[in-house]
Amino acid sequence: MKKFMTLALAAALAVSALAGCRAQQKGGTVSTDGSTSMEEVIGVLGEAFQEKYSGMTFTYNPTGSGSGIQAVKEGRCDIGLSSRSLKEEEKADGLSETVLANDGIAVIVNPKNEVSDLDIETIAKIYTGEITNWFEVGGNDAEIVVIGREAGSGTRDGFESITGTENACKYRQELTSTGDVITTVSQNPDAIGYASLAAVSDQIKALSVGGVSPSEATVKDGSYVIQRPFVLVTKDDAELSDAAQKFFDFALSDESAPYISQAGAVPVK
């Protein structure tokens, strides 16, 4: 009898241990690192992912596109986040990109600014210092304060590539996040900046470009020309963990599209 009880207890403990192991396997952590412009998109996706997979933990480190690409290359995160396409040398280093969504880069001014539309050529002249006063473009007689992002920013790379101003911009300030650009422009009536359309709020005013306002519809149909991809970056020779693969698949699924739209970007799906 005593032997029977001992065997029964051992069996019960084994079942309990197995159940605990299975519960643990349902969990896991997904770490992402990179673009501050993707904060809104990655935030809603991370929240929805954790609701779908209750045992999973999702983390996001907003360091900028260049830092996120470096982090995944060095194995410091599961998935890098970039608001620009990978360069050929980055691909040669064993990295792959998967486009998650497209995003407009809004050209922003203070709400008090009377200017509401600029074309690409004029924007380029402002950023390269050829046009220095708002009076020259229909605004008040005031010096234009040119705000931009730091070197390595995906937003800066996209903006300068599209406007043809690479290595020629005359920035008054180079800031390290989308939020910093928005805050700075909102506090200076003479400032101009650029920021992810997904992050635009009523703190600032987004200009139309060549008569086309930035929106999900105009980004999708291509009529708003200042736009760039939101990219998931992975390492070719490193298999994603089970948790990271689940997030990757979820982010690219039809199920994620409404969340991406909710965050102000245009899903590829």
Residue 3 resides in a domain:
no
Task: Please compute the mean of the pLDDT values over residues 207-236 and round it to a whole number.
Answer: 96
Strand pairing class (208-209; 205-206): unpaired
Task: Assess whether 57 and 142 both reside in one domain.
Answer: no
In whole angstroms, give the CA distance from residue 160 to residue 252: 28
Helix/strand/coil for 46 = helix
Residues 215 and 233 in one domain: no
Q: Is residue 233 part of a domain?
A: yes
In this structure, which amino acid lies at residue 225?
V
Strand partners, 99: 231
> Is 24 inside any structural domain?
no
Per-residue confidence (pLDDT) for residue 22, from 0 to 100: 32
* Mean pLDDT in residue range 238-266: 96
> Does any domain span residue 246?
yes
Alpha-helical segments (H) within the chain: 2-25, 39-52, 65-73, 88-92, 120-127, 154-163, 178-186, 216-221, 242-251, 257-262
Query: Do residues 128 and 212 both lie within one domain?
Result: yes
Counting Cβ atoms within 10 Å, is residue 23 exposed (0-12), middle (13-18) or buried (19+)?
exposed
Say whether both 107 and 223 belong to one domain.
yes
Close Cβ partners of 144 (under 8 Å, ≥ 6 residues apart): 126, 131, 132, 133, 134, 190, 191, 192
Q: 3 or 74: whose pLDDT is higher? A: 74
Contact 203, 60 (CB under 8 A): no
2 part of a folded domain:
no
Residues 113 and 96 in one domain: no
Do the beta carbons of residue 60 and residue 93 sit within 8 Å?
no
Is 23 a domain residue?
A: no
Is 36 in the same domain as 132?
Answer: no
Range of the domain at 157: 103-227
What are the pLDDT digits (tens) for 178-212? 999 999 999 999 999 999 999 999 999 999 999 99
Q: Are residues 110 and 212 in the same domain?
A: yes
Residue with tokens 């020629």: 168
Q: Does residue 21 lie in a domain region?
A: no
Query: Domain check: are 108 and 223 in the same one?
Result: yes
CATH number of 158's domain:
3.40.190.10
Instruction: Give the integer Cα–Cα distance in Å for 235 and 77.
Output: 10
Q: Show the tokens assigned to 120.
A: 């690409």
Using DSSP bridges, classify how beta strands 191-196 and 145-149 pair: parallel, antiparallel or unpaired: parallel
Same domain, 220 and 111: yes
Write down the pLDDT at residue 48: 98
| Domains in the chain, number | 2
Average predicted confidence (pLDDT) for the chain: 91
138 and 202 in one domain?
Answer: yes
Instruction: Point out the least confidently predicted range of 17-31, 138-152, 219-233.
Output: 17-31
Q: Per-residue pLDDT averaged across 235-261, rounded?
A: 97
Question: How far lies 246's CA from each of 157, 179, 230, in Å?
Answer: 30, 29, 19
Judging by beta carbons within 10 Å of its beta carbon (0-12, 13-18, 19+), is residue 153 exposed, middle or buried?
buried
Residue from 67, 18, 4, 42 nearest 196 by CA:
42
Q: What is the pLDDT of residues 7-57, one digit of tens each?
A: 343 444 333 333 333 333 367 999 999 999 999 999 999 999 999 999 999
Do both 184 and 154 map to the same domain? yes
Q: Are the CB atoms for 116 and 204 separated by under 8 Å?
A: no
Where residue 97 falls (left for φ over 0; alpha for ψ -120 to 50; beta otherwise) is beta
Does 152 lie in the same domain as 53? no
Q: Let me know if residue 22 belongs to a domain.
A: no
